[in-house]
Amino acid sequence: MAYGGSETELYSEVLAQVCLAYAMKHSKAMTPSTLNKDTIDDVKSLIETHSAANMNDDDFLDDLIGFGLYPIKRGFTWVDGQGAAMLKVKNRFKLSSTGYTIYNDKLYGKTLTLDNPYVAFLKAKTGAKPDKWNPADMWVMNSDGRKALSDMNKKIKARNKVSLAYANQTLSNQFTDRNIIPISLKKPQQSPHLEIVNSNEYVTRLSLNKTNNPTIEYTMGNKDVKINFTIETIKLEEGQKASKARRNPQSIKGTVVQGSEKHIRLKYHVDNKKVELEYDQSGKSVTRTAEAKMGNLGAKNFQAIIDGTSKQGVRKLNQIQDEFAGEFGEGNDLTKDPWFNGKQFGVVKARHSAMELEPHYLKLADYVRKIWEAIDGRAPEFQRDAKGQLDQAQGLWSKARAGELGVAVGSITNETIKKRVIQNLYEAAASISYATGLNKEERELETLSEPSARRVSFNAGVYVKVY
């Protein structure tokens, strides 16, 4: 059977809890042959789940086992993936079955209880969703960690003004002592990887023009735009804070972690109006497309980050939009503020609005050609009513939206500033920090307008990303 998004989220998280508990108790990976009710019963005392996951209900256990045995790809099941990944977590952090409990993040709602690791974030009222501060799907804690969390929450609840920095530092200290370990799960692959985020031990450094693809990839045959870049992990010198390193990436002091270089892309997903963070890329010598979805960022947020960091590219886009003023008709025209026209023609999903969009095919084609010219200097031709995605009005509408994002980033002329914009987008999508603006040195390079100073709305908390 096929599993929907909510089912996959439920079963994959609980399965990971079971696999980690099994690894902690037996020091080996759970496999299809060991996934059964007896082994689950043997380890369930080590896990805490929410109401949708009743570990004493036979029907739920049957469904959980069925999901675990379901293939992600031929010869590779969910339990194969989660079993191997959780053994790696167990070994990396030296977890044992004595003292630790594995908590599902769905246990924690918006109530400010002393055992809720999200209390500080909820009380800070940043306007962001909790998973942008900490995307953990599981919280592994021992008694020392639970006490430290309770003590921290007592202090936070007693204060009028909440400092997320205080909460982040407390959780980072508890992570260093291996008392609290938040774990974020991505779709398992055959070679699991662990990445520690926001621990003051490591920081990622971003570079452009190292991939097989251009920084802004805008091509025929799809409705996408992709922003391609490369990151590497730096182990910081003792005493250097990750937040300071991210503020001044050129002055990072530390050593590059061997094998940490990854080619990354932010891919605009037109139907849900989000950019999704993906590892691996298609292109010249790369034979597979991205497999790992590593986070996302909605349209409202990516617009705010670009607007608050540099509008060099937006000004170029606005010039193009000026050429089409009044061309689409009242109520359907392009806007310049906001520059992202995700609601043009009242469209929510273009594939559901073919009839409404079809009369505007020719103007949409003209607009997309202008965008294409701005991105890579050429203007393709489209053939109306042909079979390709861009030969239909709804495909062009989607490509126009993707292109608006592409111009807003790609037409930034200064590479240092472009890199900062991409870094801010990446860190927000990856739940590292939510920041806008430029540091002092970068502002001196921004000659076309009055640049915004760097502002960090919040840094995310420490967590382990399993991918």
* 5 vs 69 pLDDT, higher one: 69
C-alpha distance from residue 232 to each of 197, 205, 256 (Å) = 13, 5, 7
The total domain count for the chain is 3
| Residue-wise pLDDT tens digits, 386-427 | 667 788 899 999 999 999 999 999 999 999 999 999 999 999
Within-domain flag for 465? no
Within-domain flag for 433? no
- DSSP label of 452: P
Separation of alpha carbons 186 and 81, rounded Å: 10
Pick the last residue of a domain from 385, 410, 435. 410
Do 76 and 171 belong together in one domain? yes
Residue 344 tokens, joined: 């043009």
Q: Tell me how far the alpha carbon of residue 121 is from its chain's centroid.
A: 18
| Residue-wise pLDDT tens digits, 354-373 | 899 999 999 999 999 999 99
Residue 344 has pLDDT above 60, yes or no: yes
Do 166 and 204 belong together in one domain? no
Pairing of strands 262-269, 254-256: unpaired
| Residue-wise pLDDT tens digits, 192-247 | 989 898 887 888 889 999 998 999 999 998 999 999 999 998 888 887 778 888 88
User: What is residue 127's predicted lDDT score, i.e. its pLDDT?
Assistant: 86
Q: What is the per-residue burial (b if ≥16 Cβ within 10 Å, else e) of 184-211?
A: bbbebbeebbebbbbbbbbbbbbebeeb
Do 235 and 383 belong together in one domain? no
Residues listed for the chain: 467
User: What is residue 288's predicted lDDT score, i.e. its pLDDT?
Assistant: 41
Within-domain flag for 202? yes
Do 143 and 232 belong together in one domain? no
Task: For residue 372, give its domain range.
Answer: 312-410
- E strand or H helix at 276: strand 274-279
Do 316 and 275 belong together in one domain? no
Do 14 and 117 belong together in one domain? yes
Residue 390 tokens, joined: 């861009």
Within-domain flag for 18? yes
Do 291 and 211 belong together in one domain? yes
Pick the last residue of a domain from 185, 205, 238. 185
| Residue-wise pLDDT tens digits, 289-342 | 344 457 899 999 999 999 999 999 999 999 999 999 999 988 899 999 999 999
| Residue-wise pLDDT tens digits, 50-63 | 999 999 999 999 99
Within-domain flag for 343? yes
Nearest partner of 68 among 81, 53, 87, judged by Cα: 81
Pick the last residue of a domain from 363, 382, 410. 410
What average pLDDT does range 174-194 have in this prediction?
92
Do 284 and 145 belong together in one domain? no
Do 215 and 339 belong together in one domain? no
User: What is residue 293's predicted lDDT score, i.e. its pLDDT?
Assistant: 59
| Residue-wise pLDDT tens digits, 118-152 | 999 999 998 888 999 999 999 999 999 999 999 99
User: What is residue 39's predicted lDDT score, i.e. its pLDDT?
Assistant: 97
Using DSSP's 3-state secondary structure scheme, residue 387 falls into coil
Helices 415-429, 299-307: crossing angle, 10 deg rounding: 150
Within-domain flag for 108? yes
Residues 6+ apart with CB under 8 A from 237: 253, 254
Within-domain flag for 423? no
Q: Is the dihedral of CA 123, 124, 130, 133 positive or negative?
A: negative
The pair phi, psi for residue 58, each rounded to 5°, is: -60, -40
Do 53 and 146 belong together in one domain? yes
Report which listed range, 15-19, 155-159, 440-444, is most confident: 15-19
| Residue-wise pLDDT tens digits, 237-293 | 887 778 888 888 777 888 988 888 889 999 998 888 899 998 765 544 443 434 445
Q: The tokens 């002055």 sit on which residue?
A: 251
* 335 vs 161 pLDDT, higher one: 335
The pair phi, psi for residue 93, each rounded to 5°, is: -110, 10
Nearest partner of 64 among 133, 8, 127, 122, judged by Cα: 8
C-alpha distance from residue 309 to each of 134, 194, 206, 217 (Å) = 23, 31, 16, 21
Separation of alpha carbons 428 and 154, rounded Å: 29
- DSSP label of 453: B
Within-domain flag for 456? no
Separation of alpha carbons 414 and 309, rounded Å: 13
Do 244 and 291 belong together in one domain? yes
* 284 vs 177 pLDDT, higher one: 177
Assess whether the previous peptide bond of 249 is cis (omega < 30° from 0). no
Separation of alpha carbons 364 and 328, rounded Å: 9
Do 176 and 200 belong together in one domain? no
Nearest partner of 170 among 191, 192, 155, judged by Cα: 155
Using 50, 70 and 90 to split pLDDT, how confident is the model at 349?
A: confident
Torsion of CA 416, 418, 421, 424, to 10 degrees: -60
- E strand or H helix at 465: strand 463-466
